[in-house]
């Protein structure tokens, strides 16, 4: 059985409410305690759909739709500001970002906290969480202990700050909401069949990545095309090996995903999310540009 908190966190990152994600994970674990990881994922999805159907709120239904692989629609990671495709989208992106950067509503952590307190709490009936919220869900739902993390995130992405303020006032996001920008796997390195499958089912790809499984091996195992070697635990095998065109090779998928960038389904989204990281040795925050920030004040260190 897979860890309940891991399953719940995966669903939350895909836009499911934390309460619904926890219920789905707990029920699946209770009813399928001895299932192998892939069977567990199948049952988790079925349980989520069942609970979502029982939920009265539209928001819950929208979140379930985002987690359902057959409803996910692909949006190019290079088209960040418009849901439709346009030959001028890439050009207009920089202009839009520049305008957003000039209108950042805070200059330091104190101003950020005031801005955050002033955000509305009204969401559109057909609201779906944009990918940047899915990626940063744990920090965005936190309190003062993660305020610096939120400050750094929106400081790095003024366009997201403007969008977040907008959706908190009942408007829909201008950014992708289907999880397509959160993909870390390079589909060009998969077989044509597998790549086509995951382009149509991005949430299935995100699920495999969320459990640190190689997507190709996970799909092949799910379809009964391949089995783990005799005496090998299936979950361990899927997380410690990967498929290549020249055969299956050893790979620490957990570490590989941790170090990988979000390149998106089209493979062109590297750099979409400018992330910071915690330096465990010093406790400082290292920004994407290499600058060091104080974890309590959010100020640059000399």
Q: What is the pLDDT of residues 164-196, one digit of tens each?
A: 999 999 999 999 988 899 999 999 999 999 999
**DSSP reduced 3-state for 267:** coil
- Residue 20 near residue 60, CB atoms below 8 Å: yes
Of 54-63, 94-103, 293-302, give the range with the top mean pLDDT: 293-302
Sign of CA dihedral 206, 192, 187, 243: positive
Q: What is the pLDDT of residue 43?
A: 77
What's the gap between Cα 69 and its chain centre?
14
What does the pLDDT average to over 8-33? Answer: 68
**DSSP reduced 3-state for 178:** coil
Q: What is the pLDDT of residues 67-89, one digit of tens each?
A: 333 333 334 444 443 343 333 33
Out of 10-14, 111-115, 153-157, 234-238, least confident range: 10-14
**DSSP reduced 3-state for 101:** helix
- Give the separation between CA 141 and CA 147, rounded to whole angstroms: 10
**DSSP reduced 3-state for 134:** helix
Long-range CB pairs of 293-298 (<8 Å, 24+ gap) are: 293/148, 293/152, 295/148, 296/148, 297/109, 297/148, 298/108, 298/109, 298/112, 298/148, 298/151, 298/152, 298/155
Q: What is the pLDDT of residue 17?
A: 63
- Residue 158 near residue 104, CB atoms below 8 Å: yes
Q: 92: alpha, beta or left, given left = phi > 0 and alpha = psi -120 to 50?
A: alpha
Average pLDDT, the chain: 79
Q: Which two tokens stand for residue 54?
A: 């029982």
- Give the separation between CA 166 and CA 149, rounded to whole angstroms: 20
């Amino acid at each position: 059985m897979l860890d309940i908190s891991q399953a719940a966190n995966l669903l939350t990152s895909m836009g499911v409410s934390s309460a619904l994600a926890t219920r789905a994970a707990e029920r699946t674990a209770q009813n399928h305690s001895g299932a192998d990881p892939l069977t567990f994922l199948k049952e988790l999805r079925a349980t989520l759909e069942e609970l979502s159907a029982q939920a009265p709120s539209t928001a819950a239904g929208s979140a379930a739709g985002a987690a359902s692989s057959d409803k996910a629609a692909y949006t190019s990671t290079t088209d960040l500001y418009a849901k439709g495709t346009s030959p001028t989208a890439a050009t207009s992106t920089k202009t839009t970002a520049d305008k957003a950067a000039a209108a950042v509503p805070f200059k330091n952590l104190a101003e950020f906290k005031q801005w955050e307190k002033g955000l509305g709490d009204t969401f559109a009936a057909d609201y779906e969480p944009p990918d940047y919220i899915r990626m940063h869900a744990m920090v965005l739902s936190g309190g003062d202990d993660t305020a610096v993390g939120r400050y750094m995130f929106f400081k790095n992405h003024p366009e997201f700050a403007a969008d977040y303020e907008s959706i908190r006032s009942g408007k829909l996001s201008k950014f992708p909401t289907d999880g397509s920008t959160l993909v870390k796997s390079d589909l060009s390195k998969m077989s044509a069949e597998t790549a086509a499958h995951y382009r149509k089912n991005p949430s299935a790809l995100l699920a495999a990545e969320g459990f640190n499984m190689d997507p190709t091996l996970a799909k092949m195992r799910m379809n009964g095309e391949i089995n783990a070697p005799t005496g090998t635990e299936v979950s361990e095998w899927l997380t410690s090996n990967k498929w290549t065109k020249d055969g299956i090779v050893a790979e620490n998928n957990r570490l590989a995903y941790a170090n990988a960038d979000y390149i998106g389904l089209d493979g062109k989204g590297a750099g979409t999310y400018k992330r910071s990281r915690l330096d465990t040795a010093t406790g400082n925050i290292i920004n994407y540009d290499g600058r060091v920030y104080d974890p309590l004040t959010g100020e640059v260190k000399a």
